A and B are shown apart, each in its own frame.
Chain A
Amino acid sequence: MASVTPQRVLITTPLRWIPDTFDFSRYGQIFNGGADSVGATFRAAMMNSAVVAVGTVSISMVVGILGAYAFARLRFRFRRATLMIFLATYMLPQIALLIPLYLILNSLGLLDTTTGLILVDCALVIPFVLWILSNYFMTIPDELEEAARIDGTTRLGALFWVVLPAARPGIFAAIMFSFLLAWDEFMYALIFTSSDAAKTLPVAISEFAGRYTTDFGLVAAGGILAALPPLIVAIIFQRYVVSGMAAGAVKG
């Protein structure tokens, strides 16, 4: 319950303390502002964020599903060690990688591009996807797959036609997690992007907040818009999250 109140306070703040005339002008500013305006930057950032998040989620999901299947269904040497290494990357603070990554991205010409950001964000997101999905895949009874394979389906075929449909909650949970992670990522975006060509929303908003420190209305308007896409994703997928995790990650 407490989590609801501050949100409402945020929305009512500009109404209560700043005259009404400001209200929608901020949104207008963001949507209609011409070149070089706050609005232009914001719209560009929104687009970049969307590209980065969608790109990251799609790559991570494809790659993650394949990997998670291997972890869940196949027996091979160093299986545990490999999974462990994947998960351990999560403990690395991003600062530890910044400068060398900057150099790599630069030599590939990927600095200040959404492609570059997608690349580094995938490295953050994939371990998560592997973890959620491999746990979920394990809860799907082997018999389903066995039956399909007796009918002559290959392993990959079974993965697509049997395991994936059965793992829908887990997959939705993974999509939601990775989308939120990618949308929220700040440090890489701060260092690796600088212009409207690739700057994502968190970076743009931190600049807003710096320039208009006391114009909370504008920050709030921008913030609400920035929060909308992840909110929509979260509200659509939230019910799968519980079942996705209940069956998978938590119970094992």
Chain B
Amino acid sequence: MIDSTKRIHRTTVGFALLASAALMLTGCSVTGAGTSTSNYEGDGTGTINALFMKQAGYSESDVAAMIKGFEAKNPKITVKPTFVAYEALHDKIVTSAPAGTYDVVHLDVIWPADFASKGIITDVTKRFPDSWKTDMLGGALTSAEYKGKYYGVPWGPSTKLFFFNKDMVAAVGASPSDLTTWNGVLTVAKKIKDAGIVKYPLAWSWSQSEALVCDYAQLLGAFGGQFTDASGKLVINKGAGVEALAWMKKTIDDGLTDPASVTFLEDDADKSMAAGKTAMELNWESTFRDQNDPSISKIVGQAAVMPTPAGPSGDHPGVNGSMALSIGAKSTHQLAAWKFIEYMTSQSVQEEFVKSSMTNWKSSYTKTDVTVSNPDVFKAAGVAYDTMVLRPQVPNYNSVSQTLQVEIQNALLGKKTPQQAMDDAVATANANLG
């Protein structure tokens, strides 16, 4: 590089040609990724770097405590955790992949197809005990699975639950049993609005982000729909797909949904309810912790949680928001990384921190000493984990999701009819699926 810099002062054009020619000649693939067969396994010791998400679920101090426990049991392994915001997590995994910076990465349920097909995470099917496949919740398992192979271990299943303000609902003479269907929710919302308790009873995370697709998936399930058909093509421009979207739009038109929802992430909807500006919302399990935290919530003790309401189909599958831990493909400490993952995902560790995130071990749900620590959420979540609706599991999920986000927002903002928006979404996305 020193050489080339000297030369550029003299002959720029010549140098440009030279450099590109040299790069072409050296031959290796343009990404610089070799097919070298160096020892990735490692000897099960050393320092491993782990990339986690900050935000919902396990908090930073939870993870720090878990690492402490792990290091005490495995004195030869040191774990260096790094935390990034969920919004930055995917891109961080991508940019760090070529360098193999992280041995362990935190994975969202929508990424296994993407990362597995692109060789960014390691296939751990061989290490994955058969018993886990039956002992873990089905919905959680999908967060680490792609095409029948396992690329990680589930670490906390997650789904959206329905949160409501007990006092506001009671004030209009309604009871939780009125909230078991989405139609019932709208009726109660209308009453709350008419009574002038809050201006917009409902808030959602409908900004242009993954959160929007999660809410849509939830409603799609309630309306009895699926994203894809048997051939893997999107089919949301028919029936339930359009009905769910039309329903979302109508709640805005009727003044029941805060129109600012199109700028909200989960956190904003959460805070809006905690501030007493929203009566009901759909959000992740850990929301309950925030609603009852007096330092950020004005409605401590008023929040209640239950399974999500059912749609016209009578179903109410939860949107699958589970996470997993995977081993980076370029990690040179794969054995140590696996040991760490084994520990982190073990039943005892997950049960210990169950207040922050649910466990993916079926038997935990029947242990009273576990469920007693977070009874409301356990009751609601237990129902939801039975059936979960999956977002499309495709390698280029990100671009499909972006298409969906844009078209759903087009409909919500009245730029297109729901039918037209979904037609366009399906056309673009299916073309992308190739």
A136 nearest CB across to chain B (Å): 23
Indicate which residue in A103, A112, A207, A214 contacts B85 across the interface (CB closer than 8 Å). Answer: A207
A106 nearest CB across to chain B (Å): 4
Contact between A81 and B88 (Cβ–Cβ < 8 Å)? no
- The reply to whether the CB of B64 lies closer than 8 angstroms to some CB of chain A is yes
Indicate which residue in A106, A190, A213 contacts B268 across the interface (CB closer than 8 Å). Answer: A213
In the bound assembly, the distance between CA atoms of A207 and B88 in angstroms comes to 9
In the bound complex, residues from chain A placing their C-beta under 8 Å from that of B95 are: 98-99, 102, 191
In the bound complex, residues from chain A placing their C-beta under 8 Å from that of B82 are: 194-195
Indicate which residue in B12, B84, B87, B296 contacts A81 across the interface (CB closer than 8 Å). Answer: B12
- The reply to whether the CB of B133 lies closer than 8 angstroms to some CB of chain A is no
- The reply to whether the CB of B98 lies closer than 8 angstroms to some CB of chain A is yes
The verdict on A215 contacting B271 (CB below 8 Å), with A36-B64, A190-B88, A195-B82 known, is yes
In the bound complex, residues from chain A placing their C-beta under 8 Å from that of B173 are: none
Contact between B54 and A106 (Cβ–Cβ < 8 Å)? no
Chain A 189-216, CB-CB to B under 8 Å as 1, else 0, gives 0110011000000000011001111110
Q: Find the A residue at minimum CB distance from B91.
A: A191
Listed in ascending order, the chain A residues whose CB lies under 8 Å from chain B are 36, 78, 81-82, 85, 98-99, 102-103, 106-107, 111-112, 190-191, 194-195, 206-207, 210-215
Which 8 residue pairs across A and B have the least CB separation, nearest first?
A106-B99, A214-B271, A210-B85, A194-B82, A195-B82, A207-B85, A213-B267, A213-B268
In the bound complex, residues from chain A placing their C-beta under 8 Å from that of B88 are: 190, 207
- The reply to whether the CB of B61 lies closer than 8 angstroms to some CB of chain A is yes
Contact between B9 and A78 (Cβ–Cβ < 8 Å)? yes
Indicate which residue in B10, B86, B98, B271 contacts A99 across the interface (CB closer than 8 Å). Answer: B98
Q: Which of B241-300 contact A (CB under 8 A)?
A: 265, 267-268, 271-272, 275, 296
In the bound assembly, the distance between CA atoms of A191 and B95 in angstroms comes to 7
In the bound assembly, the distance between CA atoms of A213 and B268 in angstroms comes to 6
Contact between B99 and A102 (Cβ–Cβ < 8 Å)? yes
- The reply to whether the CB of B101 lies closer than 8 angstroms to some CB of chain A is yes
The verdict on A213 contacting B64 (CB below 8 Å), with A102-B99, A106-B99, A207-B54 known, is no
In the bound complex, residues from chain A placing their C-beta under 8 Å from that of B84 are: 194, 207
Chain B 4-27, CB-CB to A under 8 Å as 1, else 0, gives 000011101000000000000000
In the bound complex, residues from chain B placing their C-beta under 8 Å from that of A206 are: 85
- The reply to whether the CB of B196 lies closer than 8 angstroms to some CB of chain A is no
Where chain A touches its partner, the secondary structure class is helix
- The reply to whether the CB of B51 lies closer than 8 angstroms to some CB of chain A is yes
In the bound complex, residues from chain B placing their C-beta under 8 Å from that of A212 are: 267
CB pairs A–B below 8 angstroms (19 shown)? A36-B60, A81-B12, A82-B9, A85-B12, A103-B32, A103-B99, A106-B101, A107-B99, A112-B101, A191-B91, A194-B51, A194-B84, A194-B92, A210-B55, A210-B86, A210-B87, A210-B265, A213-B267, A214-B272
B24 nearest CB across to chain A (Å): 15
A170 nearest CB across to chain B (Å): 24
B90 nearest CB across to chain A (Å): 13
In the bound complex, residues from chain A placing their C-beta under 8 Å from that of B272 are: 214
The verdict on A214 contacting B268 (CB below 8 Å), with A98-B95, A103-B98 known, is yes
In the bound complex, residues from chain A placing their C-beta under 8 Å from that of B265 are: 210, 213
In the bound complex, residues from chain A placing their C-beta under 8 Å from that of B85 are: 206-207, 210-211
In the bound complex, residues from chain A placing their C-beta under 8 Å from that of B267 are: 210-214
In the bound assembly, the distance between CA atoms of A125 and B6 in angstroms comes to 20
Contact between A111 and B54 (Cβ–Cβ < 8 Å)? no
In the bound assembly, the distance between CA atoms of A78 and B14 in angstroms comes to 14
In the bound complex, residues from chain A placing their C-beta under 8 Å from that of B32 are: 103
A147 nearest CB across to chain B (Å): 31
Besides A78-B10, A191-B91, A215-B271, 17 other A-B contacts (C-beta < 8 A)? A36-B61, A81-B12, A82-B9, A99-B95, A99-B98, A102-B95, A102-B99, A106-B98, A107-B99, A111-B99, A111-B101, A191-B95, A195-B82, A207-B85, A210-B55, A213-B267, A213-B271
A67 nearest CB across to chain B (Å): 11
The verdict on A102 contacting B98 (CB below 8 Å), with A36-B61, A207-B84, A215-B296 known, is yes
In the bound assembly, the distance between CA atoms of A106 and B101 in angstroms comes to 8
In the bound assembly, the distance between CA atoms of A4 and B2 in angstroms comes to 48
In the bound complex, residues from chain A placing their C-beta under 8 Å from that of B61 are: 36
In the bound assembly, the distance between CA atoms of A161 and B88 in angstroms comes to 50
In the bound assembly, the distance between CA atoms of A78 and B10 in angstroms comes to 7
In the bound complex, residues from chain B placing their C-beta under 8 Å from that of A210 are: 55, 85-87, 265, 267
A142 nearest CB across to chain B (Å): 24
Chain B 27-63, CB-CB to A under 8 Å as 1, else 0, gives 0000010000000000000000001001100001100
In the bound assembly, the distance between CA atoms of A124 and B10 in angstroms comes to 22
Chain B 73-95, CB-CB to A under 8 Å as 1, else 0, gives 00000001010111110011001
